[in-house]
Amino acid sequence: MLDWDDLRFFLSLARHGSLSAAAKDLHVALSTVGRRLASLEAALGVRLLNRTPSGYQVTLAGQEVLEQSVRLEAVALLLERSVSGRDTTLAGLVRVTCAETVAAHILAPALAALHAGHPDIMLELIPNPRELSLAMREADISVRLRQPEQHDLVVRRIGTLGFGLYASEAYLACHGQVDFADGLLAHHCVTQHEDVQGAAQTAWLGELMRHARISVQTTSHEAAVVAAVHGAGLACLACFRADQEPGLRRLAPPSAAPSAGIWLVVHRDSRRTPRVRVVLSLITESVRAMRSRLDPMMGEPA
Protein backbone atom coordinates (compact mmCIF):
# COMPACT_ATOMS: atom_id res chain seq x y z
CA MET A 1 0.00 0.00 0.00
CA LEU A 2 1.24 3.50 -0.85
CA ASP A 3 2.33 5.81 1.96
CA TRP A 4 0.20 9.00 1.93
CA ASP A 5 3.14 10.92 3.33
CA ASP A 6 5.15 10.03 0.21
CA LEU A 7 2.33 11.49 -1.91
CA ARG A 8 2.39 14.68 0.17
CA PHE A 9 6.08 15.10 -0.54
CA PHE A 10 5.54 14.43 -4.25
CA LEU A 11 2.72 17.01 -4.35
CA SER A 12 4.83 19.69 -2.72
CA LEU A 13 7.79 19.06 -5.00
CA ALA A 14 5.56 19.05 -8.10
CA ARG A 15 3.99 22.36 -7.03
CA HIS A 16 7.15 24.19 -6.02
CA GLY A 17 9.61 22.69 -8.51
CA SER A 18 12.62 22.56 -6.20
CA LEU A 19 13.83 20.51 -3.25
CA SER A 20 14.57 23.61 -1.18
CA ALA A 21 11.10 25.13 -1.69
CA ALA A 22 9.37 21.81 -0.96
CA ALA A 23 11.52 21.27 2.14
CA LYS A 24 10.61 24.75 3.41
CA ASP A 25 6.93 24.10 2.71
CA LEU A 26 6.99 20.79 4.59
CA HIS A 27 9.41 21.93 7.34
CA VAL A 28 11.88 19.09 6.67
CA ALA A 29 15.42 18.66 5.39
CA LEU A 30 16.16 18.61 1.64
CA SER A 31 17.37 15.03 1.90
CA THR A 32 14.01 13.97 3.33
CA VAL A 33 12.16 15.29 0.29
CA GLY A 34 14.49 13.45 -2.09
CA ARG A 35 14.23 10.25 -0.08
CA ARG A 36 10.43 10.35 -0.02
CA LEU A 37 10.24 10.93 -3.77
CA ALA A 38 12.57 7.98 -4.39
CA SER A 39 10.43 5.81 -2.12
CA LEU A 40 7.25 6.68 -4.02
CA GLU A 41 8.84 6.14 -7.44
CA ALA A 42 10.20 2.78 -6.30
CA ALA A 43 6.78 1.71 -5.00
CA LEU A 44 5.08 2.65 -8.29
CA GLY A 45 7.91 1.54 -10.56
CA VAL A 46 7.84 4.74 -12.63
CA ARG A 47 9.63 8.09 -12.76
CA LEU A 48 7.29 10.86 -11.61
CA LEU A 49 9.53 13.92 -11.85
CA ASN A 50 12.44 14.84 -14.12
CA ARG A 51 15.12 17.15 -12.79
CA THR A 52 15.84 19.98 -15.27
CA PRO A 53 17.93 23.18 -15.08
CA SER A 54 14.71 25.12 -14.39
CA GLY A 55 13.52 22.73 -11.66
CA TYR A 56 11.59 19.49 -11.30
CA GLN A 57 9.10 18.78 -14.11
CA VAL A 58 6.23 16.29 -13.89
CA THR A 59 6.46 13.33 -16.30
CA LEU A 60 3.46 11.88 -18.16
CA ALA A 61 3.12 9.15 -15.54
CA GLY A 62 3.64 11.75 -12.85
CA GLN A 63 0.80 13.88 -14.22
CA GLU A 64 -1.69 11.07 -13.67
CA VAL A 65 -0.39 10.47 -10.14
CA LEU A 66 -0.52 14.24 -9.51
CA GLU A 67 -4.19 14.48 -10.50
CA GLN A 68 -5.15 11.55 -8.29
CA SER A 69 -3.05 12.90 -5.41
CA VAL A 70 -4.79 16.28 -5.58
CA ARG A 71 -8.16 14.51 -5.26
CA LEU A 72 -6.92 12.49 -2.30
CA GLU A 73 -5.55 15.63 -0.67
CA ALA A 74 -8.91 17.39 -1.05
CA VAL A 75 -10.69 14.48 0.66
CA ALA A 76 -8.10 14.38 3.45
CA LEU A 77 -8.41 18.14 4.03
CA LEU A 78 -12.20 17.91 4.12
CA LEU A 79 -11.98 15.17 6.74
CA GLU A 80 -9.43 17.13 8.76
CA ARG A 81 -11.59 20.28 8.76
CA SER A 82 -14.67 18.28 9.72
CA VAL A 83 -12.92 16.66 12.67
CA SER A 84 -11.08 19.80 13.81
CA GLY A 85 -14.40 21.67 13.84
CA ARG A 86 -15.53 19.38 16.66
CA ASP A 87 -12.44 20.12 18.74
CA THR A 88 -13.70 21.66 22.00
CA THR A 89 -10.37 22.29 23.71
CA LEU A 90 -8.54 25.61 23.89
CA ALA A 91 -5.27 24.00 22.88
CA GLY A 92 -3.23 23.35 19.76
CA LEU A 93 -1.70 25.20 16.85
CA VAL A 94 -3.29 28.18 15.08
CA ARG A 95 -1.50 29.53 11.99
CA VAL A 96 -2.04 33.18 11.06
CA THR A 97 -0.78 34.63 7.77
CA CYS A 98 -0.51 38.29 6.74
CA ALA A 99 1.84 40.84 5.23
CA GLU A 100 5.25 41.39 6.82
CA THR A 101 4.49 44.84 8.27
CA VAL A 102 1.12 43.74 9.63
CA ALA A 103 2.80 40.75 11.27
CA ALA A 104 5.57 42.75 12.93
CA HIS A 105 3.70 45.89 14.01
CA ILE A 106 0.06 44.86 14.52
CA LEU A 107 -0.24 41.13 15.16
CA ALA A 108 2.99 40.19 16.96
CA PRO A 109 2.39 42.57 19.90
CA ALA A 110 -1.23 41.40 20.17
CA LEU A 111 -0.60 37.70 19.81
CA ALA A 112 2.17 37.79 22.39
CA ALA A 113 -0.50 38.49 25.01
CA LEU A 114 -2.38 35.33 24.07
CA HIS A 115 -0.10 33.08 26.08
CA ALA A 116 -1.10 34.69 29.37
CA GLY A 117 -4.75 33.72 28.99
CA HIS A 118 -4.41 30.59 26.87
CA PRO A 119 -1.00 28.99 27.43
CA ASP A 120 -1.95 25.80 25.55
CA ILE A 121 -2.64 27.62 22.27
CA MET A 122 0.46 27.93 20.11
CA LEU A 123 0.56 30.64 17.46
CA GLU A 124 2.48 30.33 14.22
CA LEU A 125 2.70 33.78 12.64
CA ILE A 126 3.45 33.52 8.90
CA PRO A 127 4.41 36.83 7.25
CA ASN A 128 3.99 36.10 3.57
CA PRO A 129 3.18 38.44 0.66
CA ARG A 130 1.53 35.50 -1.11
CA GLU A 131 -2.02 34.83 0.05
CA LEU A 132 -1.73 31.35 1.55
CA SER A 133 -4.64 28.99 0.94
CA LEU A 134 -6.97 28.48 3.88
CA ALA A 135 -8.79 25.75 1.98
CA MET A 136 -5.53 23.83 1.60
CA ARG A 137 -4.72 24.35 5.29
CA GLU A 138 -1.61 26.41 4.59
CA ALA A 139 -2.95 28.66 7.36
CA ASP A 140 -5.99 28.85 9.64
CA ILE A 141 -6.54 32.62 9.65
CA SER A 142 -5.55 35.32 7.21
CA VAL A 143 -5.40 39.09 7.72
CA ARG A 144 -5.62 40.66 4.27
CA LEU A 145 -5.74 44.15 2.83
CA ARG A 146 -8.00 43.21 -0.07
CA GLN A 147 -11.31 41.41 0.09
CA PRO A 148 -11.12 37.78 -1.10
CA GLU A 149 -13.91 36.39 -3.25
CA GLN A 150 -13.80 32.63 -2.57
CA HIS A 151 -17.17 31.27 -1.50
CA ASP A 152 -15.79 28.88 1.15
CA LEU A 153 -14.31 31.70 3.25
CA VAL A 154 -15.87 33.78 6.02
CA VAL A 155 -14.71 37.37 5.56
CA ARG A 156 -15.15 40.32 7.91
CA ARG A 157 -13.80 43.85 7.68
CA ILE A 158 -12.31 44.79 11.05
CA GLY A 159 -10.57 48.07 10.29
CA THR A 160 -9.03 50.50 7.83
CA LEU A 161 -5.39 51.16 7.01
CA GLY A 162 -4.62 54.76 6.13
CA PHE A 163 -1.82 55.79 3.76
CA GLY A 164 0.08 59.01 3.24
CA LEU A 165 2.91 60.49 1.18
CA TYR A 166 6.22 60.70 3.05
CA ALA A 167 9.75 61.93 2.57
CA SER A 168 12.71 62.22 4.90
CA GLU A 169 13.80 65.59 6.27
CA ALA A 170 17.27 64.93 4.85
CA TYR A 171 15.86 64.26 1.39
CA LEU A 172 13.79 67.45 1.43
CA ALA A 173 16.77 69.48 2.65
CA CYS A 174 18.86 68.14 -0.24
CA HIS A 175 16.29 68.26 -3.06
CA GLY A 176 14.04 71.07 -1.97
CA GLN A 177 10.46 71.18 -0.76
CA VAL A 178 7.80 69.48 -2.82
CA ASP A 179 5.72 71.91 -4.89
CA PHE A 180 2.50 70.11 -5.77
CA ALA A 181 1.21 73.18 -7.61
CA ASP A 182 3.68 72.91 -10.50
CA GLY A 183 2.23 69.52 -11.59
CA LEU A 184 5.67 68.20 -12.50
CA LEU A 185 7.06 66.73 -9.26
CA ALA A 186 10.41 65.81 -10.75
CA HIS A 187 11.49 64.17 -7.52
CA HIS A 188 12.58 60.62 -6.86
CA CYS A 189 9.97 58.04 -6.01
CA VAL A 190 9.96 54.80 -3.99
CA THR A 191 7.36 52.36 -5.29
CA GLN A 192 5.98 49.01 -4.21
CA HIS A 193 3.37 46.68 -5.63
CA GLU A 194 2.73 44.04 -2.97
CA ASP A 195 2.89 43.47 0.77
CA VAL A 196 0.98 46.27 2.51
CA GLN A 197 0.51 48.58 -0.47
CA GLY A 198 -2.00 47.55 -3.13
CA ALA A 199 -2.96 48.55 -6.64
CA ALA A 200 -4.98 51.60 -5.54
CA GLN A 201 -2.07 53.21 -3.67
CA THR A 202 0.39 52.37 -6.47
CA ALA A 203 -1.92 53.93 -9.09
CA TRP A 204 -2.45 57.02 -6.92
CA LEU A 205 1.30 57.55 -6.49
CA GLY A 206 1.93 57.00 -10.20
CA GLU A 207 -0.71 59.59 -11.16
CA LEU A 208 0.52 62.11 -8.58
CA MET A 209 4.18 61.77 -9.57
CA ARG A 210 4.03 61.08 -13.29
CA HIS A 211 7.32 62.88 -13.96
CA ALA A 212 9.25 61.46 -11.02
CA ARG A 213 12.16 59.08 -11.40
CA ILE A 214 11.80 55.74 -9.62
CA SER A 215 14.75 55.25 -7.29
CA VAL A 216 13.65 52.05 -5.54
CA GLN A 217 11.04 49.46 -6.49
CA THR A 218 10.22 46.76 -3.98
CA THR A 219 7.57 44.26 -2.92
CA SER A 220 8.30 44.93 0.77
CA HIS A 221 6.62 47.74 2.69
CA GLU A 222 9.33 47.57 5.36
CA ALA A 223 12.00 48.04 2.67
CA ALA A 224 10.07 51.03 1.28
CA VAL A 225 9.91 52.63 4.75
CA VAL A 226 13.65 52.15 5.34
CA ALA A 227 14.49 53.44 1.84
CA ALA A 228 12.43 56.57 2.43
CA VAL A 229 14.01 57.12 5.86
CA HIS A 230 17.44 57.00 4.23
CA GLY A 231 16.53 59.56 1.60
CA ALA A 232 15.64 57.46 -1.43
CA GLY A 233 12.67 59.69 -2.28
CA LEU A 234 8.94 60.13 -1.75
CA ALA A 235 6.89 57.07 -0.85
CA CYS A 236 3.26 56.16 -0.24
CA LEU A 237 3.35 54.40 3.13
CA ALA A 238 0.99 53.09 5.77
CA CYS A 239 0.63 55.96 8.24
CA PHE A 240 0.76 53.83 11.38
CA ARG A 241 4.21 52.59 10.33
CA ALA A 242 5.71 55.72 8.78
CA ASP A 243 4.53 57.98 11.62
CA GLN A 244 6.78 55.96 13.96
CA GLU A 245 9.85 57.20 12.09
CA PRO A 246 11.01 60.59 13.44
CA GLY A 247 13.06 61.18 10.28
CA LEU A 248 10.02 61.05 8.01
CA ARG A 249 7.60 63.90 7.30
CA ARG A 250 4.05 63.32 6.12
CA LEU A 251 3.39 65.65 3.17
CA ALA A 252 0.10 67.25 2.09
CA PRO A 253 -0.60 66.27 -1.54
CA PRO A 254 -3.65 67.74 -3.34
CA SER A 255 -5.56 64.46 -3.05
CA ALA A 256 -5.54 61.97 -0.17
CA ALA A 257 -3.97 58.56 -0.68
CA PRO A 258 -6.53 55.73 -0.88
CA SER A 259 -6.98 53.70 2.28
CA ALA A 260 -7.23 49.89 2.45
CA GLY A 261 -9.65 47.70 4.34
CA ILE A 262 -8.31 45.23 6.91
CA TRP A 263 -10.08 41.92 6.32
CA LEU A 264 -10.14 39.00 8.73
CA VAL A 265 -10.53 35.74 6.85
CA VAL A 266 -11.16 32.17 8.03
CA HIS A 267 -12.39 29.01 6.32
CA ARG A 268 -16.04 28.32 7.08
CA ASP A 269 -15.18 24.81 8.33
CA SER A 270 -12.66 26.15 10.88
CA ARG A 271 -14.39 29.24 12.25
CA ARG A 272 -16.16 27.40 15.09
CA THR A 273 -13.04 25.65 16.40
CA PRO A 274 -12.57 27.16 19.90
CA ARG A 275 -8.85 27.92 19.61
CA VAL A 276 -9.42 29.58 16.23
CA ARG A 277 -12.31 31.64 17.63
CA VAL A 278 -10.09 32.86 20.48
CA VAL A 279 -7.45 34.08 18.02
CA LEU A 280 -10.06 35.66 15.73
CA SER A 281 -11.44 37.62 18.69
CA LEU A 282 -7.98 38.71 19.82
CA ILE A 283 -7.04 39.99 16.35
CA THR A 284 -10.35 41.84 16.00
CA GLU A 285 -10.04 43.51 19.41
CA SER A 286 -6.40 44.47 18.81
CA VAL A 287 -7.04 46.04 15.41
CA ARG A 288 -10.05 47.97 16.72
CA ALA A 289 -8.04 49.20 19.72
CA MET A 290 -5.46 50.62 17.25
CA ARG A 291 -8.13 52.26 15.06
CA SER A 292 -6.93 55.85 15.44
CA ARG A 293 -3.31 54.88 14.74
CA LEU A 294 -4.10 52.64 11.78
CA ASP A 295 -6.23 55.28 10.08
CA PRO A 296 -5.18 58.70 11.43
CA MET A 297 -6.94 60.39 8.49
CA MET A 298 -10.29 59.36 9.99
CA GLY A 299 -10.29 62.21 12.45
CA GLU A 300 -8.83 64.79 10.06
CA PRO A 301 -11.03 67.23 8.13
CA ALA A 302 -11.38 66.68 4.39
Which tens digits make up the pLDDT trace of 46-101? 899 998 988 899 998 889 888 888 887 777 766 666 655 556 678 889 999 998 88
Phi, psi (5° rounding) for residue 155? -125, 135
Residues 142 and 206 in one domain: no
Residues 38 and 65 in one domain: yes
Domain assignment present for 255: no
Asked which of 64, 84, 104 is the last residue of a domain, the reply is 84
What range defines the domain where residue 101 resides? 92-160+260-299
User: Are 135 and 117 part of one and the same domain?
Assistant: yes
CATH number of the domain that residue 225 is part of: 3.40.190.10
Helix, strand, coil distribution of the chain in percent, nearest 5? 45, 25, 35
- Could you report the per-residue pLDDT of 1-55, keeping only the tens digit for each? 566 778 888 888 898 889 888 888 887 888 888 888 888 888 888 899 998 988 8
pTM attached to this predicted model: 0.69
| 106 secondary structure, DSSP code | I
Q: How many domains would you assign to the chain?
A: 3
48 belongs to a structural domain:
yes
Element spanning 81, H or E: helix 60-84
Please, are residues 114 and 85 in contact by the beta-carbon 8 Å criterion? no
**Statement to judge: residues 65 and 178 lie in one domain:** no
Q: Which of 84, 101, 117 is the last residue of a domain?
A: 84
